[in-house]
Structure 1
């Protein structure tokens, strides 16, 4: 069973930004798919049955140069 985690991200301004973020998040073990939209700031991460801490995904988003909107 796959879980989908949703994130709101600030700082993506073009298709290259969302592609870079998708690539970096896809490298996390347990991540099955990633869909990022620079137009809406939405990022959906599909997990393939393996548990991946939300904080690990947020760290990669921030290390890629973007901000996670919290709260």
Structure 2
């Protein structure tokens, strides 16, 4: 399953690494791709992800998940 999210506040490669690492740690996530320029994050997972879990992971990395 592929899900796209919008993340606010990322400005550099470290930001990308932090968000990627937190999201990759979620159960079922198999791949995370981050487009720094647009703030778009594409998450591939075995099944649907709980938006609250995604929000918590992005928050833990220090950024904000934008409502779709």
Mapping of residues 5-24 of structure 1, within 5 Å: 5-24=3-22
In the comparison of the two structures, how many residue pairs are matched?
68
The TM-score normalised by the length of structure 1 is: 0.84
Moved over 2 A (4+): none
The equivalent residue for 1:43 is 41
Distance 2:60 2:18 in 1: 11
The equivalent residue for 1:70 is 67
Any gaps of 5 or more consecutive residues in structure 1? none
Q: What is the aligned-residue RMSD (CA, Å)?
A: 1.3
2:20–2:32 CA contact under 8 A, matched in 1: yes
Greater Rg over alpha carbons, structure:
1
Any gaps of 5 or more consecutive residues in structure 2? none
**DSSP 3-state at the match of 2:18:** helix
